[in-house]
Homo-oligomer: A and B are copies of this chain.
Amino acid sequence: MPAKPRIGKLVVIGVGLIGGSFALALKKAKMVKQVVGVGRSRKNLKDALRLGVIDLVETDAAKAVADADLVLIGAPVGQMPGIFARIAPALSPHTVVTDAGSTKQDVIAAARRHLGAHFPMFVPAHPIAGTEHSGAAAAFPDLFRDRNLILLPQQETKASALRLVKSAWQACGSNIVKLDATEHDEIFGAVSHLPHVIAFALVHQLGKRRDAKRLLGFSGGGLRDTVRIAGSSPEMWRDICTANREALVPLVDGTIAELEAARDALAAGDGETLEAMFRSARETRSRWLIKNKK
């Protein structure tokens, strides 16, 4: 006998990989009765409907959220201020709002500004999952299984709202972790946003060469893995990087400094310095991989 759905109406604004997988996971867990999808691309919403990711399409976010139990905003972070402003007047008092944005200080500030009296019902969150694919067609219910879900409740956040969002992500199989927004943005600037900038920069460098086609024809698994994440959505990553630029600029400067040190050692034929850098990096990676296996 399936458990009684705890969420009557879920509205997903931005039915992409994250929003779509959240809907599929809650459906699989029989925790949701109806999913309404809102988005900019008609084709994507059609896909989502056809694939059973959502049950209804609504083009107007304000109309969609009427009487919703939970609203998940899965849109690129750059769109969140506009979405908060649009839905705020239409929210029922009981409606819990959450997001899946990759940056948190900016999203929380925008929610505080635009949701006004409804802000205590907003639970900022960030699922640490994703692939280089985007869109509803890439969604799958197990995307969040055994992955971290960062919750960032604010002082004002209502305990009941927090409980609902937490239990939804637990139903997705996520491991819940609480973080402060500043620390969150610094951590994910380093382990996620920076690697994306680097991967995009490397492929951009190679792709603009006249011999790019011939060159890339000779590449192997090393380059393929190193630049996998350069297949990610340019718009989404533009938004993430600009939203988190305060943390990201010094991080990119740090990589430039590392590459300058490597370059100088190379130019001087200083193999010792290079090897020390490579060896220390390998040790960090091994320690970290061993730790992750536990």
> Among B190, B201, B281, which residue has its beta carbon within 8 angstroms of that of A200?
B281
User: How many copies are assembled?
Assistant: 2
Residue ID in chain B nearest A272 by CB atoms: B238
- CB pair B192–A285 under 8 Å, yes or no, is no
* Number of residues on chain A facing chain B (CB within 8 A): 91
* Interface hit among A43-51, A84-92, A155-163, A250-258: A250-258
Task: Say which one of A52-60, A165-173, A204-212 lies at the interface with B.
Answer: A204-212
A269 adjacent to chain B (CB < 8 Å) = yes
From DSSP, what is the main secondary structure of chain A's interface residues?
Answer: helix
A266 touches B285 (CB 8 A): no
A40 at the interface (CB under 8 A from B): no
Residue of B nearest to A250 (CB): B263
A281, B249: Cβ atoms closer than 8 Å: no
Instruction: Tell which of A62-70, A115-123, A240-248 binds the partner.
Output: A240-248
Is A282 in contact with chain B by the CB < 8 A criterion? yes
Q: Given the known A-B contacts A215-B190, A267-B245, are A205 and B280 also in contact in the complex, defined by CB atoms under 8 Å?
A: no
Segment from A1-9, A10-18, A24-32, A225-233 that makes contact with B: A225-233
Q: Is the CB of A230 within 8 A of B282?
A: yes
Q: Mark A182-193, 1 if CB is under 8 A from B, else 0.
A: 000001101110
CB nearest neighbor in B for A147 = B220
Measured between beta carbons, the chain B residues less than 8 angstroms from A110 are none
Q: A191-B218, A203-B284 are in contact. List 15 more A-B contacts (CB 8 A).
A: A128-B220, A187-B218, A190-B206, A195-B222, A195-B223, A197-B262, A200-B262, A201-B255, A201-B259, A204-B258, A216-B291, A217-B291, A225-B228, A248-B266, A253-B263
